[in-house]
Chain A
């Protein structure tokens, strides 16, 4: 009897909980009706997707500890500038952004997307080409952007073999060589030049490996990630010798040159640099003291502003950190192009308002917000004149680094060839294969992948 009662009460409880859950789940539905009110844009609502640690409400920056304003600031200003219009945000983390963006585009969930993967999405025909808007809008000029930024985000459309503008630069990013001036001083070595060569970096890294003459502690001349970003580090060494990753942009046009003479030299150079680096490059180890007062590494290859500029100022190390440019070819080009553009969805119902948002997102108001509140890198030239930028000397070489990366961005940067190349660099760094064999294998496997995709 007891068991029967308990099974009855279990199902009564289940039924009760189902009712409660139904209520709660149903109540959670987000109302997103069109806005009312007067004004030129009355009745129009746009949904804007943003990726990163954006939040609606004000919060505390985990690195600096300072209070930062939420994106409600952007909403209020845009709605003020566009009477009658309404903005809704879809804020999401970096993790899984590709899948979510794909799903959202499939069902027309948002009007505007922050879209680092524009080169993958534009060929699907889900994005609006921006040239007609740019040509029509007399108030807008592409010259506002830092050199090379617009070029870097160009992509191929579904029926075109010509690169077109599908996104306007929103967040800037760059890769550069960072170094510790204090260690250079202690070793009596001249700082890196603004555009160092591989020979200069190698020579200085060698000099600063060993017992520090002042502290007696073990120092290492150089460090680079042998795993996650190693493909881009290697490609940059090839570019420094006037080499390249290959040619083409559309998948059916791409030809890899992963085992070219410059790439093999570059990998051999990285293997040589291993002698001046702490152990554990392939497992992202050895740099644990970087950006602390106990730092023991002189030169860091392939660094980004996110892991250099803000942490340096937060730790009070801004006078100790120097930034030099990555290796460039004879035309001054080289390094990874990165960041995020903003794009309009093809099936947006309010494309004109979405275009207004794109202009707003690249205006000084929004760009100052991303720099001053979020610590992200702006994409506009005017940033060089802002007081907040002038207060951070380290930002100036970052803007320089944004002007000269390889563009358009490596089209295979988020696809299988990157992981094949990374894997073979790991093989070389761990002594499983020599540089030539590793890159021959990377070339063969990447080409096969391309042919079979």
Chain B
């Protein structure tokens, strides 16, 4: 009886110990976000960042948020980012799912070569592609529109690779059974494999969403009109030449600009965990 009591007590202590450790690490992880929100309410941080960091500013002010929402430019940039991101995510995820399926289950000539070609796109950074892509969109008179931001992600090496890896794990027998029933490739994809691709699709949505939402250099180059600027461009418009930044304003902007990503992540986080478990993208 005594042993049981002591065992229960030990378990309780162990639970509390784990709880405290998690609480401490949780607090450490969330501290930069709390600090970001706090500095956003500090007008003087635009001149000098408060040091040492304070949880609550000495003079709480909505000054920075006033500038953030001034003239409706942030709202406009949100709408622009939303148009670009939603379109780009839909197109890149749909195209990658189909390409991934083709590379996984398809039987066609040059499959391996084409797949290597797709993987090669991962090795070329944006910088060397900048001018050729710019000239390409200029030649079809699509600069200063959202199209250059929506169309290029159709071929996304990383997403296609993830999809192929996912479909590789689904049994070929499903496809064979459907073929016996007389289904063509499109029917097999849409009716058999696509409904099973929820977890990987959710992961891809999250990745594509973050890439598109945070993209800076390419939108900067192709969008000239301030009315078309996306959120990162609006954010950068407050940067100063000499490498310093307006701390309070930047933090207020950062707080407002990450909200959509936080919301999307909160809605989709269980799928990403599920997909990691299913597709083995945990780096093993």
Residues of A within 8 A of B (CB): 3-4, 6-7, 11, 14, 17-18, 21, 24-26, 28-30, 51-53, 55-60, 62-63, 65, 90-96, 99-100, 102-103, 106-107, 109, 173, 228-229, 288-292, 304, 306-307, 311, 314-315
Chain B positions within 8 Å of A109 at CB level: 138, 143, 224
Chain B positions within 8 Å of A62 at CB level: 46, 64, 67, 238, 246, 248-249
Q: Is B237 touching A55 in the complex (CB atoms < 8 A)?
A: yes
Determine whether B110 belongs to the interface, using a CB cutoff of 8 Å to chain A.
no
A90–B70 alpha-carbon span in the complex (Å): 20
In the complex formed, the residue of B with least CB distance to A56 is: B226
Q: Is A100 touching B221 in the complex (CB atoms < 8 A)?
A: yes
A65–B46 alpha-carbon span in the complex (Å): 10
In the complex formed, the residue of A with least CB distance to B84 is: A25
Contact of A99 among B127, B135, B246 (CB under 8 A): B127
| Residue from B43, B44, B142, B224 whose CB has the most chain A CB atoms within 10 Å | B224
Chain A positions within 8 Å of B63 at CB level: 65
6 tightest Cβ-Cβ pairs between the two chains A and B: A288-B51, A3-B195, A93-B236, A25-B146, A21-B87, A107-B138
Contact of A30 among B48, B91, B224 (CB under 8 A): B224
Interchain nearest-CB distance for B83 vs A (Å): 5
Determine whether B6 belongs to the interface, using a CB cutoff of 8 Å to chain A.
no
Q: Is A28 touching B240 in the complex (CB atoms < 8 A)?
A: no
Interchain nearest-CB distance for B274 vs A (Å): 17
A382–B121 alpha-carbon span in the complex (Å): 55
In the complex formed, the residue of A with least CB distance to B241 is: A94
Chain B positions within 8 Å of A59 at CB level: 67, 70-71
Between-chain CB contacts (< 8 Å), 18 pairs: A17-B87, A18-B91, A21-B83, A25-B146, A57-B73, A59-B70, A62-B249, A63-B47, A65-B43, A94-B241, A96-B220, A96-B221, A99-B130, A99-B217, A229-B243, A288-B48, A306-B241, A311-B48
Q: Which of B194-208 contact A (CB under 8 A)?
A: 194-195
Chain B positions within 8 Å of A25 at CB level: 83, 87, 145-147, 150
Chain B positions within 8 Å of A306 at CB level: 240-242, 244
Determine whether B268 belongs to the interface, using a CB cutoff of 8 Å to chain A.
no
Chain B positions within 8 Å of A60 at CB level: 66-67, 70
In the complex formed, the residue of A with least CB distance to B82 is: A24
Contact of B90 among A14, A29, A52 (CB under 8 A): A14
A314–B83 alpha-carbon span in the complex (Å): 39
A57–B237 alpha-carbon span in the complex (Å): 13
| Number of residues of chain B lying within 8 A (CB) of chain A | 58
A228–B131 alpha-carbon span in the complex (Å): 28
Given A14-B90, A107-B143, 15 more pairs with CB closer than 8 A: A3-B195, A18-B87, A21-B86, A21-B87, A25-B83, A30-B224, A62-B64, A63-B46, A99-B220, A106-B134, A106-B135, A109-B224, A291-B48, A292-B47, A304-B242
Q: Is B130 touching A57 in the complex (CB atoms < 8 A)?
A: no
Q: Is A29 touching B242 in the complex (CB atoms < 8 A)?
A: no
In the complex formed, the residue of B with least CB distance to A70 is: B71
A106–B134 alpha-carbon span in the complex (Å): 9
Q: Is A7 touching B226 in the complex (CB atoms < 8 A)?
A: no
Q: Is B87 touching A314 in the complex (CB atoms < 8 A)?
A: no
A6–B244 alpha-carbon span in the complex (Å): 51
B26-61 vs A: 1/0 string, CB under 8 Å? 000000000000000001101111010000000000
Residues of B within 8 A of A (CB): 43-44, 46-49, 51, 63-64, 66-67, 70-71, 73, 83, 86-87, 90-91, 94, 127, 130-131, 134-135, 138, 142-147, 150, 190-191, 194-195, 216-217, 220-221, 224-226, 228, 233, 236-244, 246, 248-249
Q: Is A290 touching B94 in the complex (CB atoms < 8 A)?
A: no
| Residue from B51, B242, B244 whose CB has the most chain A CB atoms within 10 Å | B242
Q: Is B135 touching A291 in the complex (CB atoms < 8 A)?
A: no
Majority-rule SS of A interface residues: loop
Q: Is A315 touching B220 in the complex (CB atoms < 8 A)?
A: no
| Residue from A17, A103, A292, A315 whose CB has the most chain B CB atoms within 10 Å | A103
Q: Is B225 touching A30 in the complex (CB atoms < 8 A)?
A: yes
A91–B144 alpha-carbon span in the complex (Å): 13
Q: Is A93 touching B220 in the complex (CB atoms < 8 A)?
A: yes
Chain A positions within 8 Å of B71 at CB level: 55, 57-59
In the complex formed, the residue of A with least CB distance to B252 is: A62
In the complex formed, the residue of B with least CB distance to A227 is: B243
Chain A positions within 8 Å of B243 at CB level: 228-229
A57–B227 alpha-carbon span in the complex (Å): 11
Q: Is B64 touching A99 in the complex (CB atoms < 8 A)?
A: no
In the complex formed, the residue of A with least CB distance to B187 is: A4
Interchain nearest-CB distance for B172 vs A (Å): 19
Contact of A291 among B47, B70, B83 (CB under 8 A): B47
Chain B positions within 8 Å of A29 at CB level: 142, 144-145
A103–B129 alpha-carbon span in the complex (Å): 11
In the complex formed, the residue of A with least CB distance to B217 is: A96
Q: Is B130 touching A107 in the complex (CB atoms < 8 A)?
A: no
A202–B147 alpha-carbon span in the complex (Å): 58
Interchain nearest-CB distance for A17 vs B (Å): 6
Q: Is B226 touching A102 in the complex (CB atoms < 8 A)?
A: no
Interchain nearest-CB distance for A371 vs B (Å): 16
Q: Is B83 touching A307 in the complex (CB atoms < 8 A)?
A: no
Contact of B224 among A90, A173, A314 (CB under 8 A): A90
Q: Is A94 touching B244 in the complex (CB atoms < 8 A)?
A: no
Chain B positions within 8 Å of A91 at CB level: 226, 237
Q: Is A289 touching B64 in the complex (CB atoms < 8 A)?
A: no
| Residue from A52, A99, A315 whose CB has the most chain B CB atoms within 10 Å | A99
A100–B225 alpha-carbon span in the complex (Å): 13
